[in-house]
Structure 1
Amino acid sequence: MRNRMTTASTRHLLVLTLIILCGFGVRAALHNYHGLEGDDGFSLSLARLDIDTLLRGLAALELDIHPPGHFLALKAWIAVAGESLLSLRLMNILADVATGALMMRVAGRILSNRAAVIAGLLWLASPLLIYSDNLIRMYTLLSLFAAAGTACVVEARYHRQRWVWYVGAAIAGFLAAFTHIVGALILVCLALGVAVGWLMDSTRRLYSLLIAIIAFVIAGFLYLPYGYAVWQVYQSGRPLGAEISEAKFDEPFTALFHVIAATLTHRLGAVGVGVAMTILLVAAAIWLWQRRPRQSTSLLVMVWAGLAGMAILGWVAGFYKARYLAPFAPMLLALMAVIIASLPGRYWRGIVTAGLVLILASGVVRDLDHRFRDDWVAAASFIRRHERQNDRIIVIPDWGQEAFRFHYQGNAPVVGLFPQVSPNIPYAEILEEQSANANGVWLVHYQPEVSDPDRLATSWFQSHASIVTEVFPAGMHIRYYDFVLSVDALPEDAIPLDARFGNMMQLHGYFLPVTQGSAVDSWLHPPSNWVQVVLYWEALTPNSNVTPRVRLTSPYAQVYGEVLDRSNDLLDRVPISTWQPGEIWEVAYDINLNPETPPGVYNIEVMVLDTDGQPLSTEGADAGEFWVIAGQFIIQ
C-alpha cells in the first residue's frame, strides 16, 4: 500500500513538474515576440535612477503613482542580470512560474491532486498572466504576492500554528500594497480571507485571530502615508492609473462582466462573453460552497472581493486596464480548478478542462496580434530603414524615448521632449532649437491624444517643414518632416538620371530607401505597403504648369501602385509653378501598393503631364518615349 502511495505521489509530482516546465517553455518562447511597451521604457528609466532619487520621487508621487517595490526589485535584477530583452523578461517569467506553483498548491490543498493538475493546466495557458510576463512592469510580481498570500490563507487551515500563516498572508499583502496601487485591494482581500478562514475553523483560537489582526493593522499602518497621498491625488481629479482607460462603465454590473471576462481571457472580453462567464461562475461558486463550505469559503470570498473591488474601481473612478486584473487571475483560476475537479465523472471533468484551456489558449493567440501592443519595434525598424544623413528623432512624450532607444539601431540622434505638450511651456522655442541644423526630423508621437492633445507640436512642424511620410505603428503616430526643400547638388546616396520632359522639367536622380518588401502591410498602415521614392527635380522654365505622375508598374506597364495625396508636402508648400531654373527640389512620394500585387520586380515609372493630362515627351540617356524608370522595387 505504501509503495503504491509513493508511486502515485511521485507520478503526481512529475506531472506538476512537467506542467511547470511547459509553462516556462511557452513563456520563454514568447519573450521576444513583442518588444517593449512605452510603460516598459518608463520602468527601465526609473530603475536607472539612484535609490535616493527613486524613493523620494515615488514617495512624492512625482515619478509614478505606484509605490517603489517593483522598481527596487527591477533595479536589483538589472544589476545582476543586465538589460537584454531576455533578462528583463526572465524576472517576470520566473515570478510567474512561482505563481503557477502556488496556484497548484492552493487547489491541491483545498481539494485534491486532480485539482492541482487542473490549476496547472489553466495557469499554463492563462493569457493575462502570459501577457503580464512580457511587460517590464509590476503585474507579475503583484500576482506572485497575491498568490503567496492566498496560499498562506489556505495553508493555515492545515496547521496548528495558524497564526504563522496569517502573518505570512499579511506580509504578502503588505508587499503587494507597496508594489502597485491595486495591492491595497489585495491586502483587503487577504484580510477578509483570514477572517473568514478563522470563522470557518472549528477551533477558533482567539490568539491566532489577535495576531492576524495585529499583523494586518501593522501592514495597513505602514501603508497609510502612501494610501493617504493616493487619496489626495484622487480628490484632485488626477487619474490614479493610466491616462487612457481601456473601458468606461456606466453600470457596476457591466464593469463586473468585463472584469471577469478579461481576467480569464484578456482580450476576448466582449460583454456577452462576460455575462455568460459571470452567470456560470456564480452558479458554480454557489454549488461548490454548498458542497465544500469549510474548504472553499476563504478562497471564494477573496476571489469575489477582488473582482467586485476592481469592478467598483473601474465604474466609480475610471481606474481600469486589463493588466490591473492580473493579480486576481491566480485566485480565480485556482477556484475554477477546484470547481472542475469537484465535478462528478471523469468525462465531464475532462471536457470542461479541455474547453477552458482552449478558451484561454485562444486568448494567448489573440494577444500575438501586434495591433494590441505598443509597437516600438516596428517604429524603430521603419525609421532605421528610411532615415537619411543628418536626420534627427524627437520622441514625445520624453519618457517614451527609452522604449524607442531600446530597439533603435540607426544613426540619428534621439531626444525625448515634454511629458505633455501644452501652451504653458515654451514648446515652440524648444522644438526650433532641437530641429536646428537638421535636414529632417522624425516626430514620434506616442499616445498623441494624451501627450499632445491640442496637436501643438504637429502644428509647429506643419508650419516649418514639409511632410514626407507618416506611418501608424500601434500606440503611436510617426511623421517625417523635411527642412531642406532644395539642394545644390545630388546627395551621395542618390542615383543620378539624365532625363528631360518636354524641355520643361529635368529629373536629376532618385533615391529609394527600401527596394523590396511585401505588398501587404498589417503593422504600419494596413492593408497595403507603401514604396517611398525621392526624386530630384528641376524646372527648366519658369512658371511651369505641369504635374509629375509617379506609379509602380509591371514590365508590361500594368499599374500596381499610385502616389498618396498628402497635404503640406513639398509640392503643396512650393508649387512647381513657383520654381526657378537652376533650383533642384527634393520631392518625396509614397506609392500606395495594391495589396494583391503578385511577387515580382516592378518599375517606379515617372511621367510629367501637361495641363490636358497628356504625358510630355522625354529625352536623355535614361529616358523612354514619355517616361523614365526611377529604380525598381521587388515584391516578395
Structure 2
Amino acid sequence: MRAILRGIRAHREPMALFLLALAVRLWRLTYHSLWFDEAVSAYWASRPAAEIVRVGLGLTLDKHPPVYYLLLRGWTLVFGPGDAAVRSLGALMGALAVFPVYALARRWGGRVAAGIVALSLALNPFLVWYSQEARMFMPAATFALLGLWALVRAVEDERAWAWLVFVVSTLAGVYAYLFNALMLPVAGLWWVMALARRWWAGQCGKARWLAVTGGASMAAVALGFLPLAWRAWTVSGVESTPGRAFADVGVTLWRLGRAFLIHRARLGPTGDLATAVGAIALGVWVLSALQARRRGPPGPGELAAALLVPWLLGNVLLTRDGSVFAEPRYWLFLVPFLCLTWGMAIVWLLARRRIWKKLAGGAILCAFLATYVVALPWNWRPETRRENWRAAARYIEAHAGPNDAILIHVDYVRTAFLRYYRGDQPVYFPFGGPVNDMEEIAPPLEGMSRFDTIWLVESHLEGVDDGRLVERWLGERYPLVTEQFPAGITLRAYAVRLFYPTLPSDVRPLDAELAPGMILAGCRLGEEEIAARDDVYHPPSGWLHVTLYWRRVGDPPEGARPRLHLIDELGQVWGAGLARERDVWSMHPPRSWPSDQLVRDEHDVNLNPVTPPGEYRLQVAVVGADGEPMGPEATCGPVRVVPR
C-alpha cells in the first residue's frame, strides 16, 4: 500500500492532468446524437467477434481494420450499448493520451514543459471533440503515442519490456486506423536516431544491443502490418480519384492548423489570429531545434520526424487518392505532436535570459490557453451539432399516424435512424446506389401509395441523388405536410391520403363555415405546449403543427386561402402559418374537392422567437387575395407557450 501511495504521489501531476482531461471529455458526453459513422461503430460492436475480424481485415464492407470495433464490442458487453457507454471508451482513451505525452515532454523539456504540453492536450477542442466520438481516430492516436513512448523507454533506458509494449501498441494503432501506418517510418527514424547517438558517443556495445533488439522489434511490426498493408493497397484506389502531390499546400496547412487549434469554433478573425500564433510557436520551436547540436539530446529531431514524415507521405498518397487531406480528423494523430512542439517552444522562450523572450513565451502561453477557453465550449453548441438522428426519430414518433410509412434515403443511413426510432410505422430504404432518372425510382415509391403519409428522411445524398429525384417525385404528386431540419438531415412528410369520409377520432370537431362553401369540420394540434425558440429542427423559432379538415358545401371563392394565427388574449399575433407552394390548396384547388369527403390540410405555424410564455389560442380564417377574412374565424384550440 505504501508503494502504491508513493507511486501516486510521484505521479500526481500527470494524474491530475489525466483527471482533468477525462472530466472535460465526459462533460455533456451525450449532448450530440450519434451521427452516421458512430452508428456504424455501434453496429459493428454488436456483431460477433469473428465477423468483426473478417470484415475488418477485408476492408470492403467497412474501410477500417477491426481493433477498435473489437475493443468497443468488449466495452459495450460490460457497460451496455447506450450512447454514453459507446462514447465513453473514446473519452477514456483520449484522456489516457495525457500520460505518454507528459512522459515525452518531461524527458525532453522538463517538468514545466510536461505540464504545459499535457494541459494543452487535455483542453484542445479538436482532441476533445474526437474523444467524444465513437470512432477509432482518438484511440488509434493514443496507441501510437503509447508505442512511441515505449520506443523511447526502450532505446534510452534499455528496458526490454518496453520493446514488447512498442510492438503491441504500434500494431494495435495501425489495426485500429490505417493512417496510423504513416507513423511507422517515424518510429523507424526515432530508432535510427538513437542508434546514431550511441555510435557517436562511442557506446558501441549499447549500440549493438540497440541494433539487435530494435531491429527485431521493427521487423516484428513490419511483418505484423504486412498483410493489412497488402490488402489495403489492393482495395485502395477503386473508388478514389487521384490528386496531385502538394496541391494547394498552403491552403491545406492553414485549414488543418485552424482545425487543430479551434476546431469548429466560429471565431472569425480571432480564429485566424490564434492559428497565426500557433504557426509562430511552431517557428520558434524550429529556431530552438536549429540551435541544438547535431549530437545533442533527443527531442527536436524526433518531433520534426513525427510532424514532417507523415505529412510528406500524405502528399505522396495524394497522387493515388485526392481526398487524403479532405478531413482534418484523418490527421488527428499529429495533434499531440503539435502540442509537444508548442509546449517546447514556450518553455524554450521562458528559459531565455532576455526579458522580451520570456514575455513572448508567456504571451504565447496565455494566447493558447485563452484560445482553448473560448473555443472549447463551441463543441457543445447548437451550431456545431453532429447529425441529429435522435431528433429526427423523436419527431416522427411524436407526429406519425398509425397508417404512415418512413422512407430512408439513402439506404445505408438507416443504421443511424433505426438506432433511435421506437415507433411502429414500417421503414423502407429502397435506394442504395446512384439514382439517375424518375423511371428508376417510380416502382418502389408507387408501392407506398397505400399509406396516409410518407415520411422522407434524407442524408448523405452526395454522389447518390444529387438531383434530389426522390424528393422531386414525391413533391410533384403529394402535398407537403411538414419539413424539419435536424442537423445533417432533412425530414419531409407528404400527404398521400387527402380525403376522409369522417373525422378521425383524435380530431376536435368545429363545423364552422369560414367562407361561402367552406366549412372547417375539425382541427388537431400537433402540440398543446411549445417553446417559442427552437435550436434543433428549424432555429431560431418553434413550429406548431396543425391539421385541418375541410368540407366543401358549395363553390368556394377563387383565390381563397387559409390563414392561421397564434394570438394572445389581446388579439396580438405571435405566430403565423407558413406559406408553401405545394400544399393541398395549390395542388388541389378547393373547387375540385369532393363534396362528400373531408379534405386533410396540414400546416406549420411559425412562432415569433420572443413570444412570452403564457396562454394563447390558434385562430383559423379563410382569406381572399387581399388578405382579409371572407367570414368568421374559428378557434382551433388553446396553446401554452413554455420557457425553453
TM bin (shorter chain): 0.7 to 0.9
Please say if residues 604 and 633 of structure 1, whose CA atoms lie closer than 8 Å, have aligned partners that are also in contact. yes
Residues 595 and 66 (structure 1 numbering): CA distance in 2 closer, same or farther, change over 3 Å? same
Check if 1:580 corresponds to 2:580.
no
Q: Bigger shift: 483-492 or 602-611?
A: 602-611
Tell me how far 1:590 sits from its aligned partner. 1.4
- Secondary structure (helix, strand or coil) at the match of 2:264 reads coil
Deviation, 1:211, is: 4.1
Alignment CA distance shift 1:313-1:594 (3 Å): farther
Q: Secondary structure at the match of 2:629?
A: coil
Distance 2:431 2:69 in 1: 23
- How far 1:628 sits from its partner (Å)? 0.9
Q: 1:432 to 1:221 in 2, by over 3 A?
A: farther
How far apart are 1:480 and its partner, in Å?
A: 1.0
Deviation at 1:64, TM superposition (A): 1.6
- Check conservation: 2:265, 2:379, Cα contact below 8 A: no
Mark the CA change 1:322 to 1:14 in structure 2 (over 3 Å): closer, same or farther. Answer: same
What is the Cα-based RMSD across aligned positions, in Å? Answer: 3.1
Report if the CA contact (8 A) 1:147-1:331 is conserved: no
On the 8 A contact 1:499/1:506 being kept in 2, the answer is: yes
Which residue number in structure 2 is paired with residue 155 of structure 1? 153
Aligned twin of 1:358: 370
Deviation at 1:612, TM superposition (A): 5.5
Distance 1:633 1:210, change over 3 A: same
Change (3 A) 1:634 1:250: farther
The CA distance in 2 between the partners of 1:541 and 1:305, in whole Å, is 80
1:327 to 329, 333, 347: 333
Are the aligned partners of 2:285 and 2:341 in contact in 1 as well (CA < 8 Å)?
no
Which residue number corresponds to residue 290 of structure 1? 291
- Specify the alignment match of 1:303 in structure 2: 307
Q: Is the 8 A contact 1:256 1:311 kept in 2?
A: no
Q: Please give the secondary structure, in 2, of the residue aligned with 1:174.
A: helix
Secondary structure of the residue that 1:235 maps to in structure 2? coil
Matching residue's letter, 1:357: L
After superposition, residues 64-463 of structure 1 pair within 5 angstroms as 64-161=62-159, 165=162, 168-201=165-198, 202=201, 203=203, 205-238=207-240, 250-268=247-265, 273-291=274-292, 293-296=296-299, 297-310=301-314, 317-319=322-324, 320-344=326-350, 352-372=364-384, 373-423=386-436, 427-433=441-447, 435=448, 437-463=450-476
CA distance in 1, matches of 2:527, 2:376: 33
* Distance across 2 between alignment mates of 1:15 and 1:229: 43
3-state secondary structure, aligned to 1:294: coil
Query: Contact (CA 8 Å) 2:436, 2:465: kept in 1 or not?
Result: no
Distance in 2, Cα, partners of 1:532 & 1:577: 25
How far apart are 1:208 and its partner, in Å?
Answer: 2.2
Residue 109 of structure 1: how far off its partner (Å)? 1.9
Question: Structure 2: 5+ residue runs without aligned partners?
Answer: 352-357
User: What do the CA deviations read for 1:360-408 (whole angstroms, capped 9, x no partner)?
Assistant: 2333212212333112232223223322222222322333223223333
- Residue-by-residue CA offset, 1:103-134 (whole Å, 9 max, x unaligned): 11111122322222222211221212211122
Distance 1:76 1:11, change over 3 A: closer
Once the two structures are superposed, residues 458-499 of structure 1 have per-residue CA deviations (whole angstroms, 9 ceiling, x without a partner) of 133224432211111111111111211111211122111131
Asked if 2 retains the 8 angstrom alpha-carbon contact of 1:169 and 1:190, the reply is no
Q: Report deviation, 1:307.
A: 4.6
* Residues 310, 559 of structure 1: alpha-carbon distance in 2 compared, 3 angstrom cutoff: farther
> Aligned in 2, Cα 1:99/1:486: closer, same or farther, shift over 3 Å?
same
- 1:561-600 pair list within 5 angstroms: 561-600=575-614
| From 488, 492, 508, the counterpart of 1:479 | 492
Q: CA deviation at 1:627?
A: 0.9
Match for 1:251: what amino acid? D
Deviation at 1:520, TM superposition (A): 2.6
Structure 2 vs 1, CA of residues 193 and 220 (structure 1 numbering), >3 Å: closer, same or farther?
same
Contact 2:405–2:451 under 8 Å retained in 1: yes
Deviation digits for residues 399-452 of structure 1 (CA, Å, limit 9, x no counterpart): 32232233334443444444344249954333444x354321221111233442
Q: 1:45 aligns with which of 39, 43, 46?
A: 43
Normalised by the length of structure 2, the TM-score is 0.87
Instruction: Flag the 1:129–1:475 CA change in 2: closer, same or farther, 3 A.
Output: same
Q: Cα–Cα, structure 1 residues 48 and 8, in superposed 2: closer, same or farther, change >3 Å?
A: closer
- Greater shift after overlay, 64-73 or 297-306? 297-306
1:110/1:502 CA distance change after superposition, 3 Å: closer
Shift, 1:570, TM fit: 1.9
8 Å contact from structure 1 (residues 551, 560) kept in 2: yes
1:404–1:38: structure 2 CA closer, same or farther, 3 Å change rule? same
Q: Provide the C-alpha distance between the structure 2 equivalents of 1:329 and 1:588, rounded to a whole number of angstroms.
A: 51
Q: How does 1:29-40 map to 2 (within 5 A)?
A: 29-40=27-38
| In 1: Cα distance, 2:178 partner to 2:228 partner | 9
Give the corresponding residue for 1:608.
Answer: 622
Q: 2:354 maps to what in 1?
A: none
Secondary structure at the counterpart of residue 581 of structure 2: coil
Range 493-502 or range 605-614, more displaced? 605-614
Helix, strand or coil: the match of 1:65? coil
Whether the 8 Å CA contact 2:483–2:490 is kept in 1: the answer is yes
Q: CA deviation at 1:543?
A: 5.5
Kept in 2: contact 1:485–1:585 (CA 8 A): yes
* Aligned-partner Cα distance in 1 for 2:492–2:506: 22
User: Contact conserved, 1:139 with 1:323, CA < 8 A, in 2?
Assistant: yes
In 2, are the aligned partners of 1:20 and 1:97 still within 8 Å (CA)?
yes
1:66-98 residue CA offsets vs partner (Å, 9 max, x unmatched): 222212222222223220122112211221222
Residue 501 (structure 1) shift:
2.3
Whether contact under 8 Å (2:452, 2:496) holds in the other structure is yes
Rounded Cα–Cα distance in structure 1 between residues aligned with 2:10 and 2:366: 19
The letter of the residue matching 2:297 is: R
User: What is the TM-score of this pair, normalised by structure 1?
Assistant: 0.88
Give, in angstroms, the shift of residue 357 of structure 1.
2.5
Select between 93-102 and 315-324 the one with higher mean Cα deviation: 315-324
For the 8 Å contact 1:604–1:630, the answer to whether it is kept is: yes
Evaluate the alpha carbon distance shift between residue 630 and residue 239 of structure 1 in structure 2; reply closer, same or farther with a 3 A threshold: farther
Contact map agreement 1:22 1:124 (CA 8 A) in 2: yes
With over 3 angstroms needed to count, the CA separation of the structure-2 counterparts of 1:352 and 1:526, relative to structure 1, is: same
Asked whether the 8 Å contact 2:106–2:113 carries over to 1, the reply is: yes
Deviations 1:264-294 (A, max 9, x none): 3323596665455224303323314524742
**Residues in 1 aligned to 2:287 and 2:163: alpha-carbon distance in whole angstroms:** 26
Gaps of 5+ in 1: 1-5, 618-625
Shift, 1:156, TM fit: 3.2
| 1:535 match | 548
The residue type equivalent to 2:214 in the other structure is: A
